[in-house]
Structure 1
Amino acid sequence: MGRHSAARTRQWPRLVLVAGVVSAATMFVVGADAAPHVTEAAPAVEPAPPSPAPQMHLMAAQPPAPPAPAPTLPHGVAKETGLQVNTILAARAVSATFPEILDIGGVRSDPLKWHPHGLAIDVMIPNARSAEGKALGDSVLAYVLDNAERFGLVHAIWRQTLYKPDGSKRMMASRGSDTADHYDHVHIATAGGGFPSEGQTYLR
């Protein structure tokens, strides 16, 4: 075999070795690409428990409370027989407001219409000539005039002076005595309003 043949023979094993190395490297690379890509899973997170639903406190509907009855005026010191409703109201209101009043006259005979028809009362003032008595009579007069519409007031007389709801007043001629001249009582005359029915009530 010539020198050239021997040289080719010596080179063959080197080629085989290089080819093998290249093949192995190729398989390693290809194998690496072909392997499945595994991603590490994130740790599971526990879901938060649901918030409890708000508690609905349902209250049973309560029926409205009945209105309180209107306060009524009790029977006062006046004898009410024969008096009309406005006059009774005035008598009861004066009794309730001025407990120091111990006597209120009502129906009696008289040449004028007021007392015989139940349209007037006489509020008797204790110790009427004293300073305290005069002050009490003045207070009763002021109270009646302040409530003129409520009482259906026509006029009031105190210490010889006649007063009307419109604020006017006039002196009366003397009749010769404290009673006749209204120095010992306040005379209160009303429009009447008719006679009371059975069970009639009078509001404060």
Structure 2
Amino acid sequence: MLGPAAAIWLGVASDTPVDREPTRAEAAPVDDVAPPCCVEVVAAGANQVAMTAAPGEPATVQMASRWRPIDMTLPQGVASERGLQVKTILAARAISAEFPQIRQIGGVRPDALRWHPNGLAIDVMIPNPTSAEGIALGNEIVAFVLRNAKRFALQDAIWRGVYYTPEGARGGAYGHYDHVHVTTKGGGYPTGHEVYLR
């Protein structure tokens, strides 16, 4: 694991003559190397590539690539996070980041059921929810939260009369035709020291 101040510099130099193809061992593409978490490969720029040759020697290509840290933190999204529990905040932020067309996510509110008052649920409001585009967007959001069920500690999602859980879905009179309701198992209330990652 890399430390926070670690930087890895990759230097590639070759003794391969210019007039022949390099072997796979001499020229492994960067795609064959999986970068460590939270970094990306920055290719060598024009000022980092040089052809060098000593008198009477074949030319060699020298270039440098490097890893650059990627900020993996999720910024606060469109939902008010006041009163939400940590897994619910994570789900709200991730949905905001993944679906920038979402402009409103409701959270804590009075309700006869415990999920919204206890910060366990959010309502992702769908623009034009009865249009084909709105329905498709709601479907995409449900698919997204189900793919991330473990990460969000997902309890359920409700959209267009269907109740979805990580174990499956069932239809019925569940309503929710203008928003996707997402319930998490909470994870406790934030302390202020949480970091929410993509």
Per-residue CA distance 1:91-140 (angstroms, 9 max, x = gap): 00000000000000000111111101000000000000000100100000
Q: How does 1:42-121 map to 2 (within 5 A)?
A: 65=7, 68=69, 71-121=72-122
The one-letter amino acid paired with 1:172 is G
Report the structure, 1 or 2, having the larger strand content: 2
Aligned-pair CA distance for 1:197: 1.2
d(CA) in 2 for partners of 1:198, 1:86: 14
The corresponding residue for 2:133 is: 132
Per-residue CA distance 1:124-161 (angstroms, 9 max, x = gap): 00000000100100000100000000000000000011
Cα-Cα RMSD: 1.7
Q: How does 1:1-204 map to 2 (within 5 A)?
A: 65=7, 68=69, 71-166=72-167, 168-173=168-173, 181-204=175-198
Q: Structure 2: any 5+ residue segments left out of the alignment?
A: 9-38, 40-68
Aligned length in residues: 135
SS of 2:183's partner is strand
d(CA) in 1 for partners of 2:181, 2:189: 20
Q: Structure 1: any 5+ residue segments left out of the alignment?
A: 1-62, 175-180
The one-letter amino acid paired with 1:169 is A
Per-residue CA distance 1:58-81 (angstroms, 9 max, x = gap): xxxxx9528836510000000000
Per-residue CA distance 1:155-188 (angstroms, 9 max, x = gap): 000001100101x2122326xxxxxx10000000
SS of 2:176's partner is coil
Structure 1 residue runs of 4+, over 6 Å off?
Answer: none
With the length of structure 1 as denominator, give the TM-score of the two structures.
0.63
d(CA) in 1 for partners of 2:108, 2:86: 13
SS of 2:134's partner is helix
d(CA) in 1 for partners of 2:151, 2:71: 16
Identity of matched residues, %: 60
